[in-house]
């Protein structure tokens, strides 16, 4: 059986990656779907005699590389590959906190009893501690928060379980590996903490492949920012209180007082759900006094911990508190105007954060400067045929080599891109109702087999509600089950309709007829009132640049390509991408967006869509 087929574009890319690894510098390469870009970079990487880090935007691609592509390379090369898969710490079970939790489980409700049993069975057997192995529990299992190995409460080398710890083991494996497969979140989080002894997860490396590089800016924004939330501090107070022996009543009282003082401070914003720009100089009345009270009570609690003879564990807890307080001061003290401060209130939790308005200077300083060779790749790196947007956003120098490889698929005959001629614009109050009807018609034409991808939860719920009562196909809705299970059900059903938001726009791979229609409700422009978007737009404007043309439009173009890219995943796939946003036809910028898409045949009339599906080999 042939292991692979010859694809000239794949060979061309492999050659360029090889040259970049030898000569150093940057390579930007856009490789359309079906190019086989994973092998095109893995094989040169494994020939380079260097330790190479491959970073992906999604866990799905990370899993695919580790489980499928790297073993295939080993087969082709005829030798074992020393590979380590490294994920963010919150993906691993923390042996220390698990032992504590299992001894005295505090469950939120009865439904957690079954999950606890599943978790216990798995914890007793797992060799990796990676929760990707853990089947049968929801992705957002609250219990996992109590027992995962996230960094902010790790005791590091002071932990009694340090030697067996899954994170420690993962680090050892990475140290010995020639190839490290990780994701952008971990890559940037690691860069952020590298200066702290013991905190880095990845070993030293000089050669990097950034796959799904179009997602790098978002990941870098979250990891080069700072966050101090009420929940993080509450957890610290809880963990510290559990670690304090019962007879230390004064210390316990100090911790309780600190928790209460923090509660009063964060209560200034609790309640109404929101995400908005936060101006520390405009604290609500009493804000400054409540902050002082909280800080004083934290000082008292930590002083008592330091002097209270609590041993090693106290040191880990104090370091953790120190980190929280540093982040808190960074957000509140507003000395850095290159960051935008954001306040988010979700239920009782209040999150104060500072996000870098631009990550390019940070990447230059913290990442690119340490590397000899960097390959940035994705199926969607260009807008209107140019890499300028990506270079600008990620701080990649102009002399970077560039390579654009067209997909080997025949989009003109395999796919149809449909934008209705007559539908209200998405800004119109009549849009949602009309769009729901259009979706129903489309889903009937395709006989199910559809993704309905929405730009907001509101639209997602409205679409799902309408389809539930109007189409006879199995309906799957984001949030009802974990993503992986929804996708499995979708594949298995063969005629299902999945309604989802942005988390399904990227990195989802369904080959074959189970997915024959992708509907995008609107053009994916970031909401202009989002604090980060607003800050970026404002900064560009102040520099005399055009934020719509240079930022908002290219961002939307890449997301649109990603959404449309869910459809044609192999030479056999056939189907329709429908975008219900008529601005694509009516506005000048529609041309740039359309020119960024693969060369689909186009349609504006529902009858053309019906005719397309009637010509399917499987149509009755």
Instruction: Give the Cα separation of 619 and 382 in Å (integer).
Output: 36
Q: State the minimum distance, in angstroms, from the CB of residue 160 to ligand SF4.
A: 7
Cβ neighbors of 142 (< 8 A, separation 6 or more) are 108, 112
Least separation, in Å, of the C-beta of 97 and ligand SF4?
A: 6
Minimum Å gap between C-beta 159 and ligand SF4 is: 3
* SS3 assignment, position 373: strand
- Residues, the chain, total? 620
Sheet holding 25-31, edge to edge: 83-85, 179-183, 52-56, 207-210, 373-378, 25-31, 401-405
Positions in the binding site for ligand SF4 (CB under 6 A): 94-97, 149, 154-156, 159, 161-162, 165, 167
3-state secondary structure 165-222: CHHHHHHHHHHHCCEEEEEHHHHHHHHHHCCCCCCCCCCCCCEEEECCHHHHHHHHHH
Residue placing its CB nearer to ligand SF4 in the complex, 161 or 534: 161
Q: Write down the least CB distance from residue 166 to ligand SF4, Å.
A: 7
Residue 220 corresponds to which tokens in the numbers above?
Answer: 């870098």
Q: How far is CA 250 from CA 262, 280, 377, in A?
A: 18, 33, 57
- Residue number, 161 or 434, with CB nearest to ligand SF4: 161
Cβ at position 312, least distance to ligand SF4 in Å: 12
- The DSSP code for 408 is S
Nearer to ligand SF4, 132 or 161 (CB): 161
CB of 157 to ligand SF4, least distance (A): 8
CB of 151 or CB of 203, closer to ligand SF4: 151
Q: 3-class SS at 28?
A: strand
- Residue closer to ligand SF4 (CB basis): 171 or 401: 171
Burial category of 29 from C-beta neighbours within 10 Å (exposed 0-12, middle 13-18, buried 19 and up): buried
Of the pair 149, 350, the CB lying nearest ligand SF4 is at 149
Q: Which one, 34 or 156, has the nearer CB to ligand SF4?
A: 156
Of 156 and 565, the one with the shorter C-beta distance to ligand SF4 is 156
Shortest distance in whole angstroms from residue 167 CB to ligand SF4: 5
**Least distance in angstroms from the C-beta of 99 to ligand SF4:** 9
Q: Kindly state the DSSP code that residue 101 receives in the 8-state scheme.
A: H
d(CA 397, CA 400): 6
523 by DSSP, 3-state: which? coil
């Amino acid at each position: 059986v042939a292991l692979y087929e010859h694809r000239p574009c794949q060979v061309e890319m492999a050659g360029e990656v090889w040259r970049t690894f030898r000569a150093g510098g940057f390579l930007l390469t856009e490789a359309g779907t079906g190019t086989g870009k994973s092998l095109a970079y893995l094989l040169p990487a494994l020939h380079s005699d260097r330790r190479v880090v491959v970073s992906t935007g999604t866990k799905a691609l990370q899993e695919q590389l580790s489980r499928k592509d790297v073993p295939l390379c080993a087969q082709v090369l005829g030798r074992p590959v020393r590979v380590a898969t490294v994920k963010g710490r919150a993906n691993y079970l923390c042996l220390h906190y698990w032992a504590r939790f299992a001894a005295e489980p505090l469950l939120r409700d009865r439904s957690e009893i079954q999950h606890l049993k599943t978790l216990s069975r798995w914890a007793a057997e797992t060799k990796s501690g990676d929760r990707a192995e853990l089947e049968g529990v929801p992705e957002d299992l609250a219990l996992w928060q109590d027992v995962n190995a996230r960094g902010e409460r790790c005791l590091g080398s002071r932990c009694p379980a340090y030697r067996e710890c899954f994170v420690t083991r993962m680090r050892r494996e990475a140290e010995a590996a020639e190839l490290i497969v990780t994701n952008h979140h971990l890559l940037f989080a690691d860069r952020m903490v590298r200066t702290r002894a013991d905190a880095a997860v990845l070993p030293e490396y000089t050669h990097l492949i950034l796959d799904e590089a179009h997602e790098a800016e978002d990941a870098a924004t979250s990891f080069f920012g700072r966050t101090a939330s009420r929940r993080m501090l509450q957890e610290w107070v809880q963990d510290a209180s559990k670690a304090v022996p019962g007879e230390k009543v004064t210390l316990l009282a100090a911790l309780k007082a600190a928790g209460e003082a923090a509660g009063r401070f964060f209560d200034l914003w609790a309640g109404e759900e929101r995400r908005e720009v936060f101006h520390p100089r405009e604290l609500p009345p009493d804000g400054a006094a409540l902050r002082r009270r909280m800080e004083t009570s934290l000082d008292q609690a930590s002083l008592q911990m330091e002097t209270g003879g609590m041993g090693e564990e106290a040191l880990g807890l104090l370091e953790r508190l120190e980190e929280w307080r540093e982040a808190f001061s960074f957000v509140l003290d507003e000395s850095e105007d290159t960051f935008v401060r954001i306040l988010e209130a979700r239920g009782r939790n209040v999150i104060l954060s500072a996000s870098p308005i631009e990550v390019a200077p940070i990447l230059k300083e913290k990442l690119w400067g340490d590397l000899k060779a960097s390959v940035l790749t994705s199926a969607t790196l260009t807008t209107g045929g140019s890499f300028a947007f990506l270079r600008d956003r990620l701080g990649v120098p102009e002399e970077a080599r560039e390579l654009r490889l067209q997909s080997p698929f025949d989009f003109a005959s395999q796919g149809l891109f449909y934008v209705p001629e007559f539908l209200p614009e998405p800004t119109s109050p009549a849009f949602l109702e009309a769009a729901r009807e259009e979706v129903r018609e489309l889903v009937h034409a395709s006989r199910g087999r559809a993704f309905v991808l929405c730009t907001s939860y509101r639209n997602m719920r409205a679409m799902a509600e309408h389809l539930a009562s109007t189409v006879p196909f199995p309906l799957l809705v984001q949030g009802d089950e974990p993503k992986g299970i929804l996708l499995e059900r979708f594949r298995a059903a063969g005629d299902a309709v999945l309604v989802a938001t942005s988390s399904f726009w990227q990195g989802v791979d369904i080959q074959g007829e189970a997915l024959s229609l992708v509907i995008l409700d609107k053009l994916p422009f970031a909401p202009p009132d989002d604090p980060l978007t607003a800050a970026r737009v404002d900064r560009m404007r102040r520099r005399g640049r055009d934020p719509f043309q240079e930022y908002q439009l290219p961002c939307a173009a890449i997301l649109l390509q990603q959404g449309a890219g869910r459809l044609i995943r192999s030479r056999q796939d056939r189907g329709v991408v429908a975008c219900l946003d008529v601005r694509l036809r009516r506005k000048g910028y529609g041309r740039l967006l359309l020119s960024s898409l693969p060369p689909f045949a186009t349609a504006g009339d529902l009858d053309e869509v019906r005719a397309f599906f009637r010509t399917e080999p499987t149509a009755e």
